[in-house]
Amino acid sequence: MRVVLDCNILVTALSSRSPYHPIYKSLVSGRYDLIVSQDILLEYEEILQVKYGTDTASSFMALLALLPNVHHVHPFYRWNLISYDPDDNKYCDCAVSGTADFIVTEDKHFNVLNEVEFPPLAVVGMESFIGMLA
């Protein structure tokens, strides 16, 4: 499975007390491939620093650099599929560039992708993704 994780999913799954922690554990154990771009990595780091502090953010970013199932892509085309929050487009562009099976998010801005025929992008929520991992 090749997936793009919205930053909010990652932040929620990182805590061992979260019911969504299996998303993080499955990443570390290599149960799925995470597709990232430089823009996504920068957002991960920024938000993790705010939520968990600099040390945790640095440790997690170092882990991502070491995991063989984390794949870096360099999107060269901007699809601009989400107009309500253009910052979310980096996830769509990454998913297309990295041939992801889907984007994992709870963000309602991504609902517009259900109406887009091309490029085809599937979106799933956390509960559905955990079900796929089980």
Percent of the chain with pLDDT over 70: 94
Helix, strand, coil share (%) of the chain residues, nearest 5: 55, 10, 35
| Owning domain of residue 59 | 2-133
Q: Out of 4-8, 93-97, 109-113, pick the least confident.
A: 109-113
The mean pLDDT value for 13-19 works out to: 95
Q: How many domains does the chain have?
A: 1
Q: Is the pLDDT of residue 130 over 70?
A: yes
For 33-50, the pLDDT digits (tens) are 999 999 999 999 999 999
**Span 66-87, average pLDDT:** 83
- 69: tokens are 């199932």
Q: Are 61 and 53 in contact (CB under 8 A)?
A: no
How many Å apart are CA 57 and CA 117, to the nearest integer? 36
Domain of 13, CATH number, reads 3.40.50.1010
Nearest 5 degrees, angle CA 14-CA 69-CA 73?
A: 100
The whole-model pTM stands at 0.92
- The C-alpha atoms of residue 80 and residue 43 are separated, in whole angstroms, by 18
The residue written with tokens 């922690």 in the block is: 21
* Range 81-88 average pLDDT: 71
Please tell me the distance from the alpha carbon of residue 124 to that of residue 132, in angstroms, as a whole number.
Answer: 10
3-state secondary structure of 123: strand
* 53-74 confidence digits (pLDDT tens): 999 999 999 999 999 999 999 9
